[in-house]
Amino acid sequence: QVQLVESGGGLVQAGGSLRLSCAASASGRTFSWYAMGWFRQAPGKEREFVATINWSGSNTLYADSVKGRFTISRDNAKNTMYLQMNSLKPEDTAVYYCAGRKNTVYSGNAKEYDYWGQGTQVTVSS
C-alpha cells in the first residue's frame, strides 16, 4: 500500500512559478519500485496527463501543453517526487494529483496508475 500526499499548490500570477511535492509512504515495497506521474483536472474537464517519470528518474515524459515549462523529478532517498512549474498560465489552473504505479516504467495513461493523492489546488491569475 502507498499513501501519497501532495503539497505546494497555491495562487500565483501568470508568468510565476510553483513547486509541487508528492511525499510517498510505502509499506512492503520501496518508493523507487514505482513509476510516478502528475495529472491535473480543471473544473468541468476530464483529468489529464501532465508528466511522468520512471523509477530512477532517468526517463521522463511531458504533455505538449507543459513541455519546456514544467520539470518532473524525484528523490528516492526522500521518497518524494516534484513538479517544478515555471511560466505559469491561467490555463494551468487545476487540481494537481500525483499518482504511483506498481511498475518501474513510466506511463501517461491514468488508468495504469494504482495509487493517487488527494490533490492540491493550483490557481493562476491573469
pLDDT of residue 31: 84
Distance CA 25, CA 88 (A): 29
What average pLDDT values come out for the chain (126 residues) when binned by 10 residues? 94 98 84 93 96 96 98 95 98 98 95 97 97
How far apart (Å, rounded) are the C-alpha atoms in residues 5 and 80? 9
Which three three-digit cell numbers place residue 106? 513510466
Query: Do the Cβ atoms of 53 and 37 come closer than 8 Å?
Result: yes
Taking only the tens place, the pLDDT of each residue in 89-98 is 999 999 999 9
- Tell me, what's the pLDDT at 32? 82
Rounded to 5°, the CA angle 29-35-36 comes to: 110
Per-residue pLDDT, 33 = 85
